[in-house]
Amino acid sequence: MVFMNGKNDLAGYVGPELNEMETVGSSEKVNVVAQAGVLGNTVRRYFITRDDKPNSVTSPSEDLGAMDMGDYKQLAAFGAWAKRNYPAKKYMLIVWNHGTGWESIGKPKSISYDDETDNYISTPELARVLKQIGGVDVYTSDACLMQQVEVGFELKDYAQYIVGSQETMIAMIFDYAALLGALAANPAMAPGDLAAAVVENNSRAATQFMEDAHTATQSAIRTAAIPGLAARIDAWAGAVMAAGLKAEVREGVLDTFRFSGGNDSDLYDFVGLVTSRTQDPAVTAAAADLQAYIEKDLVLVNRTNNNPKMSRKDYARCRGIAIFVPSSNPEKQKNAVAKAYGKLAWAKASRWHEFMKWYRKAN
């Protein structure tokens, strides 16, 4: 199931992406469906079939008329329609559009921006969609900056695996031909194998676009491991606060690997930077446990592609999951952001919100 919101500056990529899906199409064992909206046009639902016409979309479709592709209810309706009309043993949902993680420029946003309505799907709404449609085996964001703890925690009960990028992505970097080709060759593929294939295929595609593309990150995480991740994050944050390492945290905030969204950092990297500044045994033990858990239990597969022409950053520091790490200067973060963060399921269930308030509070 591919939900393609082209009602924005991505409108020109909808047709080419649908054509790429048509290079493989559906089969007796695999159904491929899409809902696509383009700026200035009506929204259509497609049953993707194979053809040899790279410049025209020939799959049978239904015109749904004008529709707000930034309304989570439309995504839920698409998922329910797909499951009802094309029942399967396993389901994958891809949301195709711009993504900002849980927030953007100080506002609680997320994914699927409709410029005609100025609407979008928030992170809690995305979880609501998956719950309403009965969950999926693999959830994937074909969008920037969505592979975050905050997003994963919201979705953890409604997907076995989550695939996404910690960093920004460029259009057409998602390899639909390789994905559908792998499914056609092995329709009984396990969800974890499919999630891993998406990461490997997209990483391989990124190297082919390296002259033009931003540096790429792709990872797949196991949602069953998210509760354990939360417990270990809490243990580390609690040990840091108990040791009074506010200065060390603030130094780590300055040095941590930051993604293009501005406030998001690689969790593994941030924990390592802060911990390297202390010899406190409780902190170092909690950090070792957390980092090992990220590598062995949470992240199924992680791939990064450095591109010196586009960025001097070493993306090898990225281990597959980002987290909100705002500036230690309280003046740089508006109260509205803090309030919005506090409403996330992650903030309510963990000590991370408390930890951020602690290190940003003046001595």
CB count within 10 Å of CB 1 equals 22
pLDDT (0 to 100) of residue 206: 78
pLDDT (0 to 100) of residue 173: 87
Three-state secondary structure call for residue 88: coil
Measure the CA–CA gap between 232 and 291, rounded to whole angstroms: 9
Long-range contacts of 176-181 (CB under 8 A, 24+ apart): 176/2, 176/17, 176/20, 176/21, 176/24, 177/20, 177/21, 177/23, 177/24, 178/204, 178/205, 180/21, 180/23, 180/24, 180/25, 180/30, 180/32, 181/24
pLDDT tens column, 197-212? 999 999 888 777 655 5
DSSP designation for 50: -
Tell me the longest C-alpha to C-alpha distance in the chain. 66
DSSP secondary structure letters along 26-47:
--SS---EEEEEETTS-EEEEE
Q: In what order do the strands lie in the sheet with 216-222?
A: 61-65, 43-47, 33-38, 2-6, 92-96, 136-142, 159-164, 216-222, 299-305
pLDDT tens column, 229-251? 999 999 999 999 999 999 999 99
Measure the CA–CA gap between 53 and 251, rounded to whole angstroms: 55
CB 273 within 8 A of CB 170: no
pLDDT (0 to 100) of residue 331: 47
DSSP secondary structure letters along 239-257:
HHHHTT-HHHHHHHHHHS-
How big is the chain by its Cα radius of gyration, in Å?
20
pLDDT (0 to 100) of residue 310: 66
pLDDT (0 to 100) of residue 55: 92
CB 126 within 8 A of CB 97: no
Please say whether the dihedral angle defined by the alpha carbons of residues 42, 109, 158 and 270, taken in this order, is positive or negative: positive
pLDDT (0 to 100) of residue 7: 97
From the list 30, 61, 32, 25, the residue with the least C-alpha distance to 44 is 61
CB 143 within 8 A of CB 120: no
pLDDT (0 to 100) of residue 210: 54
10-residue stretch averages of pLDDT, the chain, 363 residues long: 97 97 97 97 98 95 97 98 98 96 73 96 96 98 96 98 94 92 96 97 79 75 98 98 97 94 91 98 98 98 83 88 81 64 93 94 79
